[in-house]
Structure 1
Amino acid sequence: MGKYLVLQTDFGLGDGAVSAMYGVAHMVSDEVVVENLTHDIPPYDIWVASYRLYQTVQYWPKGTVFVSVVDPGVGSDRRSIVCKTESGHYIITPDNGSLTHIKHYQGLAEVRRIDELTSRLPHSEESHTFHGRDIYAYNGARLASGEINFEDLGEVVEPETLQQLELVDANEAKGILTGSIDVLDIRFGSLWTNIPLALFKEAGIVHGDSIQVSIFHEGNQVYQNIMMFAKSFADVHIGEPLVYVNSLVNMGVAVNQDSFSRLYHIGTGSSWTIQLRKAPKVIFD
């Protein structure tokens, strides 16, 4: 195990919450290397937290411990859990849907329930609103440092009993590829879909083809256009839209040097769906 502990929260960096989590981890062990996934998850947005884990976990060494705290139910009867993924990583998080994407796309090898009464920072028993510090960072550091083993953290939980968010699987029918707009490339406003490049290849679509893009919100069409399937943003003029392959090898939709989501008021989640299909080349005289 590489002693890496990677933190994700919706806390932001405007106060001392994240620093307190760092401090607890270093009190457990000076050898733990604490890093950040992000602390800019929108407040209470479990969907985005789930996706960012899916986006990131696989690119860290096996044995890395992740702590994800987007926890609107803190202090309630929701469970605190730790999982070992099929890829050999560990995630400590509330059982509120934060593992949805990891479970669906990468798989969980085993899940255990953490006892919030006994497995917590000493002398924190009277605090019920900062489990990110008192339970998750504390146990994450203990696991990352080797002070405890995965099996020491609690009793086995069946993965089928975990809370799950609704997902829309990508599919192809009669040349139309349908999926969901899962998340944004935040700073640039590009749309990241769950439609894999493999479906594009199966449909015979190659770079340079014209793609008809249709976007729906709760079943109502809100956008439609024809744009190039480009290798890079530089393949189109500034201000032009494009379809491209994102860093997870899924299809993305963007505007070169502008924000697609802001320009066209496009959101994310299972209520936002997208259809891509090969369109005839448009030639302007």
Structure 2
Amino acid sequence: MNNKHLVLQTDFGLVDGAVSAMLGVAYTVAPEVTISNLTHEIEPYNINDASYRLLQTVAYWPAKTVFVSVVDPGVGSSRRSVVAKTTAGQYIVTPDNGSLSHVAKFVGLESVKEINEEVDRLPHSEKSHTFHGRDVYVYNGAMIADNESYYDNLSKEVSVDSVKTLEITEPELRDGVIHGVIDILDVRFGSLWTNIPLELVEEAGIQTGDKISVQIYHDDIKKYDNQLLFGHSFADVAVGETVGYINSLIRLGIAINQQNFSQTYNIGTGNDWLIQIKKVKGE
């Protein structure tokens, strides 16, 4: 059974040949590798979303799987190119621009090697400076997927602590109110995924079937204020009604059954989208 896995993530989309070129390089370098796509629909330049999608996915792949994540607004600049090995044994090849933030915090990094962009790259690509996804990242990713010792032979190990990380806000419970942020969307369906873990929901005394108060703020302006059911899933409420639930990352989500919450209420994501949750008294 082939256990050489390469998983690709970019903000390139599929409207041109960029992703196909990356696939071609990978198959040329490692003909026996199995290539899968995490997503190529990251919002252009959105490093935070790239970081979160890696967290959403990496832990479900076996050790030795190699991820290539290319959301690289600084391509051609002085930012480093790196390979990180997680504490669970997967590898992530990526620009060192914050895309390792969530994996570093919630999974852990065992070691990190810097890629020499002048040497460790697709042969004869030295004159190209704007497509490192093809020339640097997928090339190195395929080399590691084909033979794990390639990682060991990368000459420059760097400190795990030196990896660039984005700010990740911690949720907290104060006076019965959970304060968190909206990390990201369940994109296709528009549900909100918060940074509030199930443990904090339980600590606030909220149980399945309770009514919860939900307030959402952006730049100190209240954007949403409602009471809704905290249920198991979307089907606990009628079509068009709102519900709180625990998502696949065991964190609080907010949704409208069979409708798009984000579009309906014009709600965004990031550390400046604050959410407050509390149990409705008497429920």
**TM-score normalised by the chain length of structure 1:** 0.96
Provide the residue aligned with 1:117 in structure 2. 118
Contact 2:179/2:276 (<8 A) preserved? yes
Amino acid at match of 2:237: V
Give the alignment of 1:274-285 within 5 angstroms: 274-280=275-281
- Distance between the aligned counterparts of 2:232 and 2:215, measured in 1? 20
Greater Cα offset, 151-160 or 169-178: 151-160
- Distance between the aligned counterparts of 2:33 and 2:73, measured in 1? 28
- Distance between the aligned counterparts of 1:218 and 1:79, measured in 2? 33
Shift of 1:205: 1.2
Shift of 1:147: 6.4
- Distance between the aligned counterparts of 2:119 and 2:192, measured in 1? 43
- Distance between the aligned counterparts of 2:183 and 2:50, measured in 1? 11
Give the alignment of 1:208-227 within 5 angstroms: 208-227=209-228
Amino acid at match of 2:241: E
Deviations 1:57-78 (A, max 9, x none): 0011111000000001101111
Amino acid at match of 1:76: S
CA RMSD of aligned residues (A): 1.3
Contact 1:209/1:281 (<8 A) preserved? no
The percent identity for this pair of structures is 56
Q: Does residue 145 of the first structure (1) align with residue 149 of the second (2)? A: no
Point out where structure 1 has 5 or more consecutive residues left out of the alignment: none
Provide the residue aligned with 1:85 in structure 2. 86
Provide the residue aligned with 1:12 in structure 2. 13
Amino acid at match of 1:78: R
3-state secondary structure, aligned to 1:149: helix
Contact 1:178/1:273 (<8 A) preserved? yes
3-state secondary structure, aligned to 1:168: coil
Contact 1:182/1:193 (<8 A) preserved? yes
Q: Does residue 104 of the first structure (1) align with residue 105 of the second (2)? A: yes
Structure 1 residues 148 and 123: CA distance shift in structure 2, 3 A: farther
Amino acid at match of 1:119: D
Amino acid at match of 2:141: G
Give the alignment of 1:170-209 within 5 angstroms: 170-209=171-210
Deviations 1:80-123 (A, max 9, x none): 00001112110000011101111111111111110001100000
- Distance between the aligned counterparts of 1:259 and 1:130, measured in 2? 35
Structure 1 residues 28 and 82: CA distance shift in structure 2, 3 A: same
- Distance between the aligned counterparts of 2:155 and 2:261, measured in 1? 45
Greater Cα offset, 122-131 or 172-181: 172-181
- Distance between the aligned counterparts of 2:148 and 2:91, measured in 1? 15
Provide the residue aligned with 1:267 in structure 2. 268
Amino acid at match of 1:127: S
- Distance between the aligned counterparts of 1:114 and 1:257, measured in 2? 45
Give the alignment of 1:29-48 within 5 angstroms: 29-48=30-49
Amino acid at match of 2:257: N
Shift of 1:154: 3.5
Flag as ranges the 4+ runs of structure 1 deviating above 4 A: none
Shift of 1:281: 5.2
Amino acid at match of 1:100: S
Equivalent residue pairs, number: 282
- Distance between the aligned counterparts of 2:159 and 2:278, measured in 1? 39
- Distance between the aligned counterparts of 1:181 and 1:196, measured in 2? 12
Contact 1:191/1:254 (<8 A) preserved? yes
Deviations 1:162-197 (A, max 9, x none): 222111111111111111101000110000001000
Contact 2:64/2:148 (<8 A) preserved? no
Give the alignment of 1:122-137 within 5 angstroms: 122-137=123-138
